[in-house]
Amino acid sequence: MATMTHPITGDELNDIAVKRPSLSFENAVTAWVMKLQGETFTDIVQKLGTNANRVGDVFRSEVHQDAKAKAISILKKHKSLLI
């Protein structure tokens, strides 16, 4: 991930390459795969470039209810399930 510095303070900042106003089903599956592989909530939010509430909605099954099952299926296929 690229970094930059704040123009006034000189503090090092992470560059935000992707900003998602909403999560697609594929994004939701990716979030579940990452979670099941042990990624932290904060890292998942940052890597997907979205708002924490959107990822929370996915993990609470308020949106994309089938995403967890799809993620488990993918991980089993790849023999990577770490639940």
User: If pLDDT is split at 50, 70 and 90, which confidence band does 15 have?
Assistant: confident
Tens of pLDDT, residues 26-77: 999 999 999 999 999 999 999 999 999 999 999 999 999 999 999 999 999 9
pLDDT of residue 56: 98
What are 1's two structure tokens? 């991930």
pLDDT of residue 3: 82
User: Cα angle vertex 42, ends 26, 13, to 5°?
Assistant: 105
For residues 50 and 23, is the Cβ–Cβ distance under 8 A?
yes
Question: What predicted TM-score, i.e. pTM, was given to this entire model?
Answer: 0.87
Task: Give the total residue count for the chain.
Answer: 83
